A = this chain, B = another copy of it.
Amino acid sequence: MKMKEKLAETIRWYHQKGWSPATSTNYSFVEDGQIWVSRSGVDKSNFNATDFIPIDENGMVQAPYQDIKPSDETMIHVLIYRLFPEAKVILHSHSKNPVLISLRHEHVFSVENYELQKGFSGVKTHACKLQIPIFENAQDMTYFEQWIPKRKQEIQQHCFLIRQHGTYAWGENLFAAKRHLETLDYLCECELVR
């Protein structure tokens, strides 16, 4: 199966889990140097391979797709690809667990001693404390253009939260990106119910 189809399948599965209510969330991947991002306003239960559109490294939609609106948050994807060269797939979720966790913490979501922390690439043991940055929410993308680079050193687990909004997670391939997103969601849910 091709990348577009595999990612579209993941998107529909996450919709079924309740992670993308009401046409929300967005997704992207890089293939042969080209960034493809989900177009805006699609009900994710029906998302198909043809719902990806190509953008350049500044987020501009490329011919012949200029008339199609990309996700409003395309700039966040562009920033992640710019700052984290290993990223090849980016997933965004509106799952309630991180949204609710973001209401209980200030700048960082801290978590320790869960086996599943090993779901993050590079983490080899549960016996450590991880800190996932929480950004404020903003409609103005210049907020993220300023703050994601500024806090880059804090972003150690291939993901971050946006307050009352959701999560972004990425990886060197779809497999890794999914693992990071699902790990983060699981840890948020555990700490929420704890």
Contacts and interface: CB of A to CB of B under 8 A. Distances in A.
Contact of A115 (B115, B166, B189): B166
A94 B165 CA distance: 25
A48 interface: no
Stoichiometry, as copies per complex, reads: 4
A99 B188 CA distance: 13
Q: Which 10 A-B pairs have the closest CB atoms?
A: A22-B119, A115-B165, A22-B182, A21-B182, A22-B179, A22-B183, A21-B186, A114-B164, A125-B139, A113-B164
22 contacts: A21-B182, A21-B185, A22-B119, A22-B180, A22-B182, A22-B183, A23-B175, A23-B179, A24-B115, A43-B175, A43-B179, A94-B186, A96-B186, A96-B190, A96-B193, A99-B114, A100-B190, A113-B164, A114-B164, A114-B165, A115-B162, A192-B193
